[in-house]
């Protein structure tokens, strides 16, 4: 046994966050790059400095690096940071609601409870969040409560290592309550200073050779699906595919090329290796990597099993073929490492519940067993690959105790050596030749997370339609600068949006992910001067699509269309929608619209809009638009100011809006009222009409109602009124 070479272990920590920047206003919608920056990215490297013999691999997604640079240079606009910076006495009612809703987004046991005052405020708000109760709840929180919350939320996301080493942060933690505005300002400065140290620290450690840095394609797309969505049928023969097949290997190539170029710009050298997003590979992806000079990539053991057509674990999950798994393979000149799925998941999901010393000992014991089980002679490498940030909040002390026991134990092991993947390849060669590469990801060896569900497929269809339109416009106008449009499209190709579509995963911020995906597609149209398709304003998330009115339709109405509230009863049987409760305006600013009423009789749909300010105070170039996306694309525009105006009805055919007619049954005096026949809307009995109202100024949309989803109206049958009476 002593003749055996040592067992090599390659830890790969994948550092990734979605691209959170809102393309329509430039704000980061979610704070996780900044907060994981202060809690996870830097300390993962800092802990290693005390263990120089321990080698590690860190994989950075370029879109994460871009966001870290943005924060480091002080140019990032972050909604959560701006609310944190506001003086507590200047917080608006909306700011306070935002704080109570979002400033407890942390692991309660490991990040909130260690601060007794923080947990006290959580209990005061209520551990079961009911959003509709927050407006009432803020009345019970004092100015001091909100100031403490601003401090705690940002303090708890700073790693305990830094809170312990920094005298000011240690003082804040020990003080524990009644913070001052000056302390808050200094805390936020410390926070951004930590973020600014991340990239220089990794650059320096890579130059010393203790760590290897690798990359992922720029915006973290599922590369095999960019190459061809039909690839999913290899692992899932019966999968439901999107309406339109997506076949754009040139996008996969671009995402890889941009990733390498940006990595080199940030770190000063080209990466040798790549973790393809979610470990997603196919033969075409490996060939692309070879063309870009990528020496190695990594994926999951399930891909190896399917590529070899051999089971490497039994039904109980026990490894039956260690000699197959624990080595490097080669395909088209690219070395491929296959992660030990079980041990990677133990670190990601199980060891956090164990006592740290026991967990570290268990992992080292498993590695010893592997070293004893493989045949002698050939060097073996165990690949343990997982997220480098998301697991540690589930560990006590942010995982630091576990890592100290693990690294100390590994440093003492004579028969186990940690390695970089490039270091292993340089010493022992590119690996055994692999005849084929099965297309799949680290999850179930398929692409089911990102394709197949109704929501997933709808997202792919929107992506295909947008890309086709962008390419068509570029062909028609070769001199048009489409740089920003392509960037927005590449962002929309990222894997993170579809991660939250479907039924597999859920999060408190699902709506943000849905909007960010659709906003990037909207950005493409805006950049090339095209109208944004109406469907992009409707959530892909099924439960968010329709907006329920405050009051439902209860019978036929026939209001007098004169722009006046002639009688309370003329709209009494119609539906009423409170704009604020339906999501407000596009940019969450003060709305111009207060309430929308709608209803119908057997022949026509009626709409009424109550403005917040008199129409006389609206600016000259303001107009209302009523837009339907079902059963037909119809747009009705009406300029608010001017005498004797009529509304204009347009219908979209192919990609052009053509005027069909004028509508005279429209008026805006105290309120806006309009009557539109169902025939003009191309709607028949029992058809569902989906519509929204848009306010535009100078051709730019400044408000939409409802912001999320649409108003849904079912065209009545002849006996509707009799049925409602009954």
Q: Which two tokens stand for residue 627?
A: 């837009």
The answer to whether residues 19 and 494 touch, using CB atoms and an 8 Å cutoff, is yes
Q: Which residue's entry shows tokens 């991340």?
A: 198
Taking only the tens place, the pLDDT of each residue in 457-510 is: 999 999 999 999 999 999 999 999 999 999 999 999 999 999 999 888 888 888
Which whole number is the average pLDDT over 134-148? 96
CA 176, 179, 185, 190: dihedral to nearest 10 degrees?
Answer: -10
Neighbours of 245 (CB within 10 A): 11
Tell me what the pLDDT averaged over the chain comes to: 93
Can you tell me whether residue 612 is helix, strand or coil? coil
Helix-, strand-, coil-residue percentages of the chain, each rounded to 5: 45, 20, 35
Taking only the tens place, the pLDDT of each residue in 678-722 is: 999 999 999 999 999 999 888 888 888 887 778 989 999 877 876
The pLDDT of residue 1 is above 50? no
Taking only the tens place, the pLDDT of each residue in 366-424 is: 999 999 887 767 899 999 999 999 999 999 999 999 999 999 999 999 999 999 999 99
Q: Which CA distances in Å does 253 have to 291, 397, 672, 702?
A: 9, 41, 52, 37
Q: ∠ CA(600), CA(601), CA(605), 5° rounding?
A: 35
Cβ within 8 Å of residue 533, ≥6 positions away: 465, 525, 629
Can you tell me whether residue 329 is helix, strand or coil? strand
C-alpha 576/C-alpha 24 separation (Å) is 30
Which whole number is the average pLDDT over 10-18? 98
Q: Which helix (H) or strand (E) holds 162?
A: helix 160-165
Taking only the tens place, the pLDDT of each residue in 76-85 is: 999 999 999 9
Q: Which CA distances in Å does 718 have to 619, 681, 684, 722?
A: 42, 18, 12, 9
Can you tell me whether residue 344 is helix, strand or coil? helix
The answer to whether residues 105 and 160 touch, using CB atoms and an 8 Å cutoff, is no
Neighbours of 77 (CB within 10 A): 13
Looking at residue 585, what is its pLDDT? 35
Q: What backbone phi and psi angles, to 5 degrees, belong to 658?
A: -120, 135
Taking only the tens place, the pLDDT of each residue in 276-299 is: 999 999 999 999 999 999 999 999
Domain spans of the chain, in order of start: 7-16+216-228+246-433, 27-205, 454-542, 568-725
Whether the link from the prior residue into 631 is cis, omega within 30° of 0, is: yes
C-alpha 640/C-alpha 593 separation (Å) is 13
Q: For residue 662, how many C-alpha atoms fall within 13 Å in the half-sphere facing its CB? A: 5
State the angle between helix axes of 181-208 and 249-267 in degrees (0 to 180), rounded to the nearest 10: 100
For every residue of 435-466, which 3-state class applies, written as one string?
A: CCCCCECCCCCCCCCCCCCHHHHHHHHHHHHH
Q: Which CA distances in Å does 357 have to 39, 142, 168, 363, 404?
A: 22, 43, 30, 10, 9
C-alpha 522/C-alpha 532 separation (Å) is 6
For strand 647-653 and strand 656-663, is the pairing parallel, antiparallel, or unpaired? Answer: antiparallel
C-alpha 307/C-alpha 309 separation (Å) is 5
C-alpha 330/C-alpha 320 separation (Å) is 22
Looking at residue 724, what is its pLDDT? 64
The answer to whether residues 677 and 690 touch, using CB atoms and an 8 Å cutoff, is no
Does 568-725 match 7-16+216-228+246-433 at the fold level?
Answer: no
List the one residue out of 48, 49, 59, 60 whose CA is nearest residue 12: 59
Paired with 694 in beta bridges are 625, 704
Looking at residue 546, what is its pLDDT? 64
Which whole number is the average pLDDT over 171-181? 97
Looking at residue 544, what is its pLDDT? 65
Taking only the tens place, the pLDDT of each residue in 31-65 is: 999 999 999 999 999 999 999 999 999 999 999 99
Looking at residue 705, what is its pLDDT? 87
Percent of the residues in the chain that have a pLDDT greater than 70, as a whole number: 96
DSSP 8-state assignment for residue 504: S
Looking at residue 306, what is its pLDDT? 97
C-alpha 182/C-alpha 190 separation (Å) is 12
Can you tell me whether residue 346 is helix, strand or coil? helix
Looking at residue 673, what is its pLDDT? 95
C-alpha 102/C-alpha 509 separation (Å) is 10
Fold of 568-725: Immunoglobulin-like (2.60.40)
For strand 296-300 and strand 334-339, is the pairing parallel, antiparallel, or unpaired? Answer: parallel
Fold of 7-16+216-228+246-433: 7-stranded beta/alpha barrel (3.20.110)
Lowest mean pLDDT among 226-240, 257-271, 590-604: 590-604
Q: What backbone phi and psi angles, to 5 degrees, belong to 175?
A: -65, -50
Q: Which helix (H) or strand (E) holds 7?
A: strand 7-15
List the one residue out of 303, 368, 311 whose CA is nearest residue 329: 303
C-alpha 619/C-alpha 614 separation (Å) is 11
Taking only the tens place, the pLDDT of each residue in 334-362 is: 999 999 999 999 999 999 999 999 999 99
The pLDDT of residue 171 is above 90? yes
What pTM value is reported for the model?
A: 0.86
C-alpha 471/C-alpha 477 separation (Å) is 10
C-alpha 466/C-alpha 668 separation (Å) is 36
Looking at residue 590, what is its pLDDT? 58
Looking at residue 726, what is its pLDDT? 53
pLDDT band of 583, cuts 50, 70, 90: very low
Residues 538-561 as b/e (b if ≥16 CB within 10 A, e otherwise) read bbbbeebebbebeeebebbbebeb
Alpha helices in 415-528 (DSSP H): 421-428, 454-476, 483-492, 496-500, 510-527
Q: Give the sheet arrangement for strand 593-600, strand by strand.
A: 575-578, 593-600, 604-611, 672-677, 666-668
Can you tell me whether residue 660 is helix, strand or coil? strand
Alpha helices in 130-248 (DSSP H): 134-137, 143-156, 160-165, 167-175, 181-208, 223-227
Looking at residue 129, what is its pLDDT? 83
């Amino acid at each position: 046994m002593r003749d055996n070479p040592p067992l090599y272990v390659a830890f790969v920590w994948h550092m990734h966050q979605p691209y959170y920047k809102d393309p329509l206003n430039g704000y980061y919608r979610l704070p996780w790059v900044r907060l994981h920056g202060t809690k996870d990215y830097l300390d993962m490297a800092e802990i290693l400095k005390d263990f120089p013999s321990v080698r590690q691999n860190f994989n950075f997604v370029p879109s994460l690096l871009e966001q870290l640079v943005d924060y480091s240079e002080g140019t990032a606009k972050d909604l959560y940071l701006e609310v944190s910076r506001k003086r507590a006495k200047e917080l608006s009612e909306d700011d306070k609601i935002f704080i109570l809703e979002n400033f407890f987004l942390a692991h309660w046991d490991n990040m909130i409870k260690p601060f007794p005052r923080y947990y006290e405020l959580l209990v005061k708000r209520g551990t079961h969040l009911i959003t509709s109760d927050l407006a009432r709840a803020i009345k019970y929180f004092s100015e001091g409560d909100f100031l403490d919350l601003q401090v705690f939320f940002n303090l708890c996301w700073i790693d305990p290592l830094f809170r312990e080493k920094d005298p000011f942060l240690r003082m804040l933690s020990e003080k524990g309550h009644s913070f001052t505005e000056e302390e808050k300002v200094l805390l936020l400065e410390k926070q951004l200073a930590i973020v600014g140290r991340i990239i220089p620290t990794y650059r320096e450690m890579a130059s010393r050779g203790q760590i290897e840095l690798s990359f992922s394609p720029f915006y973290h797309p599922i590369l095999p699906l960019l190459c061809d969505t039909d690839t999913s049928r290899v692992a899932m023969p019966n999968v439901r595919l999107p309406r339109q097949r997506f076949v754009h290997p040139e996008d996969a190539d671009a995402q890889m090329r941009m990733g390498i170029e940006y990595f080199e710009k940030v770190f000063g050298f080209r990466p040798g290796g790549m973790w393809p997003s979610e470990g997603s590979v196919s033969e075409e992806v490996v060939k692309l990597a070879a063309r870009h000079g990528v020496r190695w990539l990594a994926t999951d053991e399930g891909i190896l099993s399917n590529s070899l057509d051999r089971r490497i674990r039994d039904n109980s999950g026990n490894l039956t073929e260690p000699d197959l798994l624990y080595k490097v393979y080669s395909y088209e000149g690219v070395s491929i490492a296959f992660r030990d799925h079980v041990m990677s998941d133990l670190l990601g999901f199980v060891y956090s519940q164990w006592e740290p010393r026991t967990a570290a000992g268990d992992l080292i014991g498993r590695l010893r067993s592997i070293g004893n089980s493989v045949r002698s002679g050939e060097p073996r490498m165990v690949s343990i690959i997982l997220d480098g940030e998301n697991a540690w909040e589930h560990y006590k002390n942010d995982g630091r105790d576990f890592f100290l026991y693990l690294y100390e134990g590994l440093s003492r092991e004579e028969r186990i050596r940690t390695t970089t993947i490039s270091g292993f390849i340089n010493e022992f060669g590119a690996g055994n030749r692999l005849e084929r590469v099965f297309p799949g990801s680290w999850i179930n060896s398929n692409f089911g997370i990102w394709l197949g569900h109704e929501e997933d497929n709808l997202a792919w269809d929107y992506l295909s339609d947008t890309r086709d339109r962008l390419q068509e416009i570029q062909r028609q106008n070769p001199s048009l600068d489409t740089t920003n449009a392509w960037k927005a499209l590449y962002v929309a190709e990222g894997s993170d949006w579809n991660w939250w579509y479907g039924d597999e995963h859920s999060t408190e911020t699902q709506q943000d992910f849905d909007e960010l995906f659709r906003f990037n597609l909207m950005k493409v149209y805006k950049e090339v001067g095209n109208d944004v398709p109406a469907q992009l304003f409707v959530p892909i998330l099924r439960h968010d699509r329709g907006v329920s009115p405050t009051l439902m339709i209860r019978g036929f109405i026939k209001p007098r269309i004169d722009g006046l509230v002639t009688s309370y009863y003329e709209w009494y049987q119609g539906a009423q929608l409170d704009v604020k409760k339906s999501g407000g305006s596009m940019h969450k600013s003060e709305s111009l619209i207060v309430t929308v009423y709608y209803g119908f009789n057997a022949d026509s749909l009626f709409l009424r809009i109550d403005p917040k300010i008199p129409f006389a105070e609206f600016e000259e170039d303001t107009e209302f638009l009523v837009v339907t996306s079902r059963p037909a694309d119809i747009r009705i525009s009406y300029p608010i100011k001017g005498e004797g105006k009529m509304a204009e009805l347009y219908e979209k055919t192919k990609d052009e809006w053509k005027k069909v007619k004028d509508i005279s049954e429209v008026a805006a005096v105290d309120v806006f009222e309009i009557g539109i026949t169902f025939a003009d809307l191309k709607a028949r009995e029992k058809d569902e009409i989906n519509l929204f109202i848009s306010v535009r100024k100078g051709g730019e949309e400044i408000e939409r109602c409802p912001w999320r989803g649409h108003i849904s109206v079912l065209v009545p049958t002849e006996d509707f009124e009799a049925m409602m009476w009954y």
